[in-house]
Amino acid sequence: MTRPKRLSPEAQAEALATLTGWKLVQSREAITRRFVFRDFSEAFGWMTRVALLAEAMNHHPEWSNVYRTVEVTLATHDAGGLTELDVKLARAIDALAS
Amino acid sequence: MTRPKRLSPEAQAEALATLTGWKLVQSREAITRRFVFRDFSEAFGWMTRVALLAEAMNHHPEWSNVYRTVEVTLATHDAGGLTELDVKLARAIDALAS
């Protein structure tokens, strides 16, 4: 697999404009979104679907869960920032949440 | 269900002594433990087992996952601190991790 390239600031802005509810993290090159569900069961059920997707993409989220809330942060460790992989995963995650 | 009572500092210390690898959180009354697995699949598989357990106990962890690492924090929101429920869940989590 070729190593993904970091997005330019222009490409980042363009990608963000196509995503729903994601924003840049202040302290590092990453994007984040908060998802709120009805309860833990629904939140974790959704996490499981995202986990299957992430494993298939071999690109994994950094995430935290407190009861019915899930905070997802995406970045590409190998590239030291945002790549097309993050945008692709964000899109897939949005599709599962809608 | 009766609301669980906060543990006294003595009861906290006693409980911690019976748990493996858990420590008190500095900034609030909670306990935390970090678990490291072989890869994401193993980490998330384990999280799924903990999620089923937590749902059955109706007592849920606060947790974050980054690839093969899972950080778990336990506290009882309703009680504003640590209760017997947290000790029970920590014990069950330890049993699944060993």
- Which pLDDT belongs to residue A1? 59
Query: Any residues with CB less than 8 A from the CB of A55 and at least 6 apart, and which?
Result: B40, B41, B44
Predicted pLDDT of residue B53:
96
> Which CATH code for domain B9-97?
3.30.1360.20
Nearest residue to B88 via CA among B48, B58, B43, B46: B58
**pLDDT at B33 > cutoff 90:** yes
Higher pLDDT: A4 or B22? It is B22
Report the percentage of chain B scoring pLDDT > 70.
Answer: 98
Residues of B near A (Cβ–Cβ under 8 Å) read 40-41, 44, 47-48, 51, 54-55, 60, 62-67
Question: How many residues appear in chain A?
Answer: 98
- Return the residue of A nearest to B68 by Cα: A60
Separation between Cα atoms, residue B84 and residue B25, nearest integer Å: 17
Interval B42-90: pLDDT, tens: 999 999 999 999 999 999 999 999 999 999 999 999 999 999 999 999 9
Q: Tell me the shortest Cα–Cα distance from A53 to chain B, in angstroms.
A: 12
Contact A40 B62 (CB under 8 A): no
With CB atoms and an 8 Å threshold, state whether A60 touches B41. Answer: no
Residue A2 has pLDDT above 80, yes or no: no
Please choose, from the candidates A13, A33, A35, A15, the residue with its C-alpha nearest in 3D space to the C-alpha of residue A23: A33
* Inter-residue contact A43 to A68 (CB < 8 Å): yes
- Backbone dihedral angles phi then psi of residue B16, each to the nearest 5 degrees: -60, -35
For residue A65, give how far its alpha carbon lies from the nearest alpha carbon of chain B (Å): 6
**Binary contact (A62, B62; C-beta < 8 A):** no
What would the pLDDT profile of A24-81 be if each residue is shown by its tens digit? 999 999 999 999 999 999 999 999 999 999 999 999 999 999 999 999 999 999 999 9
Closest CA to B67 of B45, B39, B48: B39
- Mind telling me how many Å the CA of A58 is from chain B's nearest CA? 9
